[in-house]
Amino acid sequence: MIKKLDRYLLRHFFIALGVVVIAIGFTIIIINMVEGLSDFIDNEVPLTGILTYYTYFGGWVLKSFFPVFVLLATLFSVSTLARRNEILAMNSSAISLYRIAAPFLVVSLLLAAGHFCYNEFIFPPANKKRLEIKEFTIKKHSKRRFTQLANIYRQISPGYFYTIGSFNVEREEGKDLKVYKTRQNRLSEFLTASSVEYRKQRWRALNGAIRTFSDSSNESSFHEFAEMELPDIKDTPEDLSKKLGDPGDMGLEELKSYIDLMKRTGGPHVRESIDYRLKFSYPLASFIVVLISVPLAARSRRGGIAVSFATGAGIALVYFVFFRILQSAGYNEKVPDWVAIWGINGVFFLIGLVTMLTTRK
């Protein structure tokens, strides 16, 4: 059961969290709105379009900055209690700092789980709508940019790949198909077709020819065809289409499918693989920053909101700078992927643990 002390502490925390989310969230939205003002005016974007876009943009702010909001809310609420000598009164009543920190740590774990679920199940479809509004309503880009593709290259397996000169994603039809199969770095089979189409979850090449070559690279057979199925090509038209946004903003299943596609076709996937596992480590930042901020705020009896904000901003700045440094190093394979994913959380967790243990109880 939640005791009266827990309810009291958490009431202060959630009030502070609401104020922080609204104040800082609206500040970020207004700054972005000012930066995009010229696009709104030049492209005559209606007010409803702007409001809809920033409703979805608010979801992006929540996804990106939630650990910072939790950090600041903890600092504000606990430091306020410390300045009022309420933390001292609790200590005098034999209530240790561990007991005071317990509800904050438990709630931060629940918030981290909620942040993870939000990032994977609510944010991705909403973010796609935001990006569609940005591309097609605000910037007035044509949808053909994402449905009319050119110069597609995909690998089926090592030494086995195909190219399509142009492809219409909506009609699921393309032109100028070439399929290459090699053996021991020599061309063993070459298929060309004037057009290709995707029907009933199967690819078909139309009006083409297939050539096979002997080990001496001389043509050993030539066969023309009106229609031929291509069962080895597993990609779908959606796989070929250009995706809006960053793969890191996809949900887990979508990003996993994207990584599998890159592996299958020989495309780069190191960044996406790191982003996939960062989805599990980043939400835990909410718990780690609480572990650090509770003992810091509990022994701070001077200053006001400005001091708490400066402390929180400093911690957040250090965390995110090193988070991005390790992430970039992981992308470029300068550090092991586990360091890029868990390194900064591990360091801050140790700092928080030492801070909690060494603070006067």
Question: What pLDDT, on a 0 to 100 scale, did the predictor assign at position 84?
Answer: 87
By the 8 A CB rule, do 180 and 161 touch? yes
Q: What is the pLDDT of residues 329-346, one digit of tens each?
A: 999 999 999 999 999 999
Among 7-16, 131-140, 215-224, top mean pLDDT goes to 7-16
Q: What is the pLDDT of residues 249-260, one digit of tens each?
A: 888 888 887 888
Percentage with pLDDT > 70 across the chain:
94
Question: What pLDDT, on a 0 to 100 scale, did the predictor assign at position 1?
Answer: 46
**Left if phi > 0, otherwise alpha if psi is -120 to 50, otherwise beta: which for 308?**
alpha
* C-alpha–C-alpha distance, residues 120 and 18, integer Å: 23
pLDDT at 357 over 50: yes
Over the chain, what is the mean pLDDT?
88
* C-alpha–C-alpha distance, residues 16 and 25, integer Å: 13
pTM over the 0.85 mark: no
pLDDT at 305 over 70: no
The band of 210, judged by pLDDT with boundaries at 50, 70 and 90, is: very high
Beta sheet of 160-168, edge-to-edge order: 148-157, 160-168, 173-183, 186-199, 202-213, 219-229
